[in-house]
């Protein structure tokens, strides 16, 4: 999916919500947990219920890998289900990969050829040749970690260099030389508040993938206030707040209600 | 496997070689490639041939993930085969993972409970809470990226802060507060030459996992000269140079010959 298609979807649905499919077998409702295909059945119900309110889905690989082969089967089925039934949804593999060029090429093959998602999150630590192998695919995106939502983001990402530039700024400035705003987004945690202004000062047009609303405590208003561009430029993710809104038999309806609430809030924040 | 067991194995075998199982379906010998279980059959032959000369195996996850479910099956079979037949081998999942705490916990479950390897490589960018979930397992290790072997290592890892400390030094200094030398190693590329001295100045006893000998051009002598401790403190990895030494029917013998050559060189570098 390219930049214009993504912007169109956001405008049409008046939502920039991404639903995080962090599906933990230990947290899904009891009436599903025993079934053979539990993870996929849970995801399918969540997707069917939330699709009207979101423009993207983001399965986090960790949750699938924790089950080994069985988890990969569930992931592949989930991605295929979204592509076949909701082709206007942007699918992000939240994998935070990155390795030497030779190896990143294999990861690119895995996610863009085999799994065939629209985007993958990548960690910047290993630099250019760890990122560029993901850029050779038309309509596919790298979403590079810049300023994450967790407490540990302060350990290294805020270290200032001799000119006062912080590491996340060095990452954004350098990475923009590798790819255009049509191929690269940045991860910026919703918990970072006013730092969104500093990001927009150096990446005025880039899409930002924003986790951390909901369970992690970030504010949607603040993100929109400091981070929104003319084309929206935001994909705000909520995972646990939506998919575990209820752990009863009504989990899908509860997820839909939470997604709808966020989408309605987003609609008021988007330009009319 | 704990620190002392690893050191014992190195002393007994007089080798600190790690064989990288970067098994690419497109590169394995023609007579195997068509078989259903090609990846595992290739790995099994490589392992049987090289086990006398090495102390560790390091499958890189990218190569398995690129095949989806089938790749995960091959990976699980490979790990199980090593554990059952060569229990003195240290198994490293080269996965370069790292995510928010909640998610890193899932990765830890995946690699240390489900797959049950000895160590996992982790990317430091997201800081403490992305790393500590991997530290709750007895005898299991985090191998943190510090100074990698690729060209892109210069993009961010060498950025100096206001006190002149480079990012890789900040990573090592900070991460040593999270875990002892019994639980944490660092990745340092063999291509980094004299920078090993700077690493040993701040991490005098830590084990270093050293990729980049062979195909990537690093020198074993230099690594040993600047990086070796009284307990060796090095695991030097070679992947392509060993596993693709021949692409004919003699691939396993050729791999054994390459591994033996490196082990003999290592023996001369270890203290008598």
Provide the residue ranges of all domains of chain A, joining segments of one domain with +.
3-269
Q: Does A22 touch chain B (CB under 8 A)?
A: yes
CB B113 within 8 A of CB B79: no
Sequence-distant (≥ 6) Cβ neighbours of residue B112 within 8 angstroms = B120, B134, B137, B140
Note whether A72 contacts B69, CB cutoff 8 Å.
yes
Asked whether the predicted pLDDT for residue A166 surpasses 90, the reply is: yes
Question: For residue range A7-31, what is the model confidence (pLDDT) as tens digits?
Answer: 999 999 999 999 999 999 999 999 9
Of the partner residues A76, A124, A171, the one whose CB lies closest to the CB of residue B69: A76
Q: List the single residue in B with minimal CA-CA distance to A170.
A: B156
Of the partner residues A69, A129, A211, the one whose CB lies closest to the CB of residue B150: A129
Note whether B152 contacts A162, CB cutoff 8 Å.
no
Asked whether the predicted pLDDT for residue B110 surpasses 80, the reply is: yes
The predicted structure's pLDDT at residue B214: 75
Of the given ranges (A111-120, A188-197, A232-241, B88-97), which has the lowest mean pLDDT? A188-197
B96 is catalytic: yes
The single residue of B96, B165, B225, B261 carrying the catalytic annotation is: B96
Instruction: Return the percentage of chain B with pLDDT > 90, whole number.
Output: 90
CATH topology for the A3-269 domain = TIM Barrel (3.20.20)
pLDDT band with cut points at 50, 70 and 90 for residue B208: very high
Q: List the single residue in B with minimal CA-CA distance to A169.
A: B156
Asked whether the predicted pLDDT for residue B215 surpasses 80, the reply is: no
pLDDT band with cut points at 50, 70 and 90 for residue B192: confident
Q: List the single residue in A with minimal CA-CA distance to B124.
A: A125
Q: Does B78 touch chain A (CB under 8 A)?
A: no
Of A97, A20, A170, A24, whose CA–CA distance to B99 is shortest? A97
Of B193, B241, B179, whose CA–CA distance to B50 is shortest? B241
Q: Does B117 touch chain A (CB under 8 A)?
A: no
Note whether A104 contacts B216, CB cutoff 8 Å.
no
Sequence-distant (≥ 6) Cβ neighbours of residue B104 within 8 angstroms = A62, B97, B98, B129, B130, B131, B132, B133, B134
Euclidean distance between CA atoms A181 and A177, whole angstroms:
10
Q: Map tokens 């005025």 to a residue.
A: A204
Asked whether the predicted pLDDT for residue A215 surpasses 80, the reply is: no
**What does the pLDDT average to over B2-29?**
96
pLDDT band with cut points at 50, 70 and 90 for residue A57: very high
Provide, as residue numbers in chain A, all residues whose Cβ is less than 8 Å from the Cβ of B160.
161-162
Q: How many other CB atoms are found less than 10 A from the CB of residue A164?
A: 8
Asked whether the predicted pLDDT for residue A118 surpasses 90, the reply is: yes
User: How many residues are there in chain A?
Assistant: 272
Note whether A103 contacts B161, CB cutoff 8 Å.
no
Averaged confidence pLDDT in chain B: 95
pLDDT band with cut points at 50, 70 and 90 for residue A193: confident
Q: Does B76 touch chain A (CB under 8 A)?
A: yes
Q: DSSP character for B114?
A: I
Euclidean distance between CA atoms B271 and B266, whole angstroms:
10
Asked whether the predicted pLDDT for residue B131 surpasses 80, the reply is: yes
Asked whether the predicted pLDDT for residue A216 surpasses 80, the reply is: no
In A192-211, the residues whose Cβ lies within 8 Å of chain B are 211
The predicted structure's pLDDT at residue B212: 86
Provide, as residue numbers in chain B, all residues whose Cβ is less than 8 Å from the Cβ of A114.
66-68
ipTM: 0.94
pLDDT band with cut points at 50, 70 and 90 for residue B23: very high
pLDDT band with cut points at 50, 70 and 90 for residue B193: confident
Provide, as residue numbers in chain A, all residues whose Cβ is less than 8 Å from the Cβ of B102.
22
Q: Does A213 touch chain B (CB under 8 A)?
A: no
Report the half-sphere exposure of B69 (CA within 13 A, side-chain side): 9
The predicted structure's pLDDT at residue A179: 97
Pairing label, strands B119-122, B141-147: parallel
Question: For residue range B238-251, what is the model confidence (pLDDT) as tens digits?
Answer: 999 999 999 999 99
């Amino acid at each position: 999916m390219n930049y214009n298609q993504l912007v169109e979807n956001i405008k049409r649905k008046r939502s920039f919500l991404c639903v995080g499919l962090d599906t933990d077998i230990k947290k899904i409702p009891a009436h599903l947990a025993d079934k053979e295909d539990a993870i996929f059945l849970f995801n399918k119900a969540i997707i069917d219920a939330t699709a009207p309110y979101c423009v993207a889905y983001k399965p986090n690989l960790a949750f699938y890998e924790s089950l080994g082969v069985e988890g990969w089967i569930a992931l592949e089925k989930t991605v295929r289900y979204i592509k076949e039934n909701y082709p206007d949804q942007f699918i992000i593999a939240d994998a935070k990969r990155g390795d030497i060029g030779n190896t990143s090429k294999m990861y690119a093959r895995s996610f863009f050829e085999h799994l065939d998602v629209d985007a993958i999150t990548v960690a910047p630590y290993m630099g250019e040749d760890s990122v560029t192998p993901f850029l050779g695919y038309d309509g596919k995106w790298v979403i590079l970690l810049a300023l994450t939502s967790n407490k540990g983001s302060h350990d290294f990402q805020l270290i200032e260099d001799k000119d006062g530039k912080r590491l996340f700024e060095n990452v954004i400035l350098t990475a923009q030389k590798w790819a255009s705003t049509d191929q690269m987004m940045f991860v910026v945690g919703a918990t970072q508040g006013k730092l969104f202004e500093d990001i927009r000062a150096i990446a005025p047009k880039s899409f930002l993938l924003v986790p951390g609303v909901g369970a992690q405590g970030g504010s949607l208003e603040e993100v929109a206030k400091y981070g929104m561009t003319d084309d929206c430029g935001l994909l705000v993710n909520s995972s646990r707040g939506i998919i575990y809104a209820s752990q009863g038999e009504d989990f899908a309806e509860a997820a839909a209600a939470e997604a709808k609430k966020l989408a309605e809030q987003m609609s008021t924040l988007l330009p009319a």
